[in-house]
């Protein structure tokens, strides 16, 4: 196998691995919602946008006859739909990151997983010179950096007037 083939295989494997990791990162949110019977600290929008993205990629995979795209996005669409249904079951109201000035409502693991998956698919599309893969994944990189910025901006900081514990 030539060097380009090995690199393509490794990149393809990274895309599948990071994408399945991203899809399964919602399992911790699912467990939290079921245990607490609430949606505290869980955001709805990532589930919805990822599900729409999966369905779009599933269509593209079917159109192109790409088994990898079909399998990965079928798994993703099923998981995201499950997360949405559980969220809707337990959701009495919506929480706002900006209003509360707290990033506790974002999933850090989902943010990192989305960044890795989006970046790897963007590189994969770039390597294949396929804008249908590259372009739709680029917003995932941008939104991940926005969420990372929100984590940084609204991270929990100790109060300035807190006293040190006496030992």
pLDDT the model gives residue 163: 47
pLDDT the model gives residue 158: 45
DSSP state of 94: -
Q: What is the pTM of this model?
A: 0.56
Residue 68 in any domain: the answer is yes
**Contacting residues for 67 by C-beta, under 8 A, at least 6 apart:** 61
Residue 41 in any domain: the answer is yes
Residue 167 in any domain: the answer is no
- The pLDDT confidence band at residue 99, using thresholds 50, 70 and 90, is low
Residue 58 in any domain: the answer is yes
Cα angle 145, 151, 155; round to 5? 160
| C-beta separation of 76 from 105 below 8 A | no
Structural domain that includes position 107: 7-153
Residue 70 in any domain: the answer is yes
pLDDT in tens, 1-43: 566 788 888 888 888 888 888 888 889 889 999 999 988 878 8
Residue 158 in any domain: the answer is no
Number of separate domains in the chain: 1
Average pLDDT over residues 139-159: 77
Residues 3, 5, 135, 114: is their CA dihedral positive or negative?
negative
Residue 59 in any domain: the answer is yes
């Amino acid at each position: 196998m030539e060097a380009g083939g090995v690199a393509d295989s490794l990149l393809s494997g990274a895309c599948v691995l990071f994408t399945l990791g991203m899809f399964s990162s919602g399992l911790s949110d699912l467990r939290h919602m079921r245990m607490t019977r609430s949606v505290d600290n869980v955001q709805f929008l990532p589930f919805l946008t990822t599900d729409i993205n999966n369905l779009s990629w599933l269509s593209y995979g079917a159109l192109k006859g790409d088994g990898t795209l079909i399998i990965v996005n079928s798994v993703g669409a099923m998981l995201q739909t499950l997360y949405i249904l559980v969220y809707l079951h337990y959701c009495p109201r919506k929480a706002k990151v900006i209003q509360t000035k707290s990033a506790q409502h974002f999933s850090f693991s989902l943010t990192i997983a989305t960044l890795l998956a989006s970046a790897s698919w963007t590189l994969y599309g770039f390597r294949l010179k396929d804008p249908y893969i590259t372009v739709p994944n680029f917003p995932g990189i941008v939104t991940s950096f926005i969420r990372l910025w929100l984590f940084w901006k609204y991270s929990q900081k100790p109060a300035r007037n807190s006293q040190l514990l006496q030992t």
